[in-house]
Structure 1
């Protein structure tokens, strides 16, 4: 099947049986190949799991060889929220295609993302009609807490991992996200990585893998 988003697909080794799906959403200016690197280690421990790493639907405005989920060229919160909602709709369509293609329940789908991809994963997890298995976010934030609070439909389990030296999305954002999620009765786990900037170190990848294993294989 051809999905509505150009997608890097990493299939499980030695089997055609698909029991779980991990959707990995790249950051601003990245692509599906970038974020797919997480699967190199994870796939050894997540049996019968397929990894889907879509490219954003837009070319990045500051990096023409990369992609974006929403435009950041305007310093306008309403514009950014509007663009993020457009991306939500496209990703919702993508997820429905995934559910149909692999005949899988939403409860067996993990949404994960880095930076802008983390922001999209949080939004999708809370506003979707379907309840996903869990949400795992790296170095992100909540785009608009008031809007998300009004549109919230689900309470997925969430892990947020952030570097204490993040110069792009300051660590204060994960603390604000944690406060918002707790106040909205969402089971959230946050982990702060010491001396870590805006990237995903091995420690963060391992924390995420263990969290996904715990949630997928209860």
Structure 2
């Protein structure tokens, strides 16, 4: 019964997203589709495959995607490191431009009662086909609430992302998320989220509204 209720809620929330999204046709809104496969190699080692697509409501098409493969190793009770590779694609001026990112993660994980806190710092070496190489330092922090509850009610979470380009010392992106873990089981999970995205161009900050769905597969 609980699984059926969760599935029903997922359908209801997913149906609401396009309606909200359609009301934002001129304000720079996006829909993001995120897909993760986490493979547990051993007690201390995980392999993560992550893909992401940005669908822009302004241009009515996908204008960004990435595919990432990262290997994580647990080095202590609360600390892990990861080494990964990401391929990106940006659609600009009627053409796609590709990029290659090399990633180094340091991840801290804390549990305070029923609240789980995850803080990840990421160094990124970026190469592009039509622009200069970049070095970036990113901070990604997640807070999950009611993690010890066994209730079927969707659990809320908060996340923020801060992306900084090292050579220019300029913040490129700030993203503030609020979402729900609508369904989470041993092998599959679904999240729905809203993100307020601030992106800095060469002259000004741009503000975007993002609605998204994240699908997670867990392999043991």
TM-score by length of 2: 0.30
**More strand per residue:** 2
TM-score by length of 1: 0.30
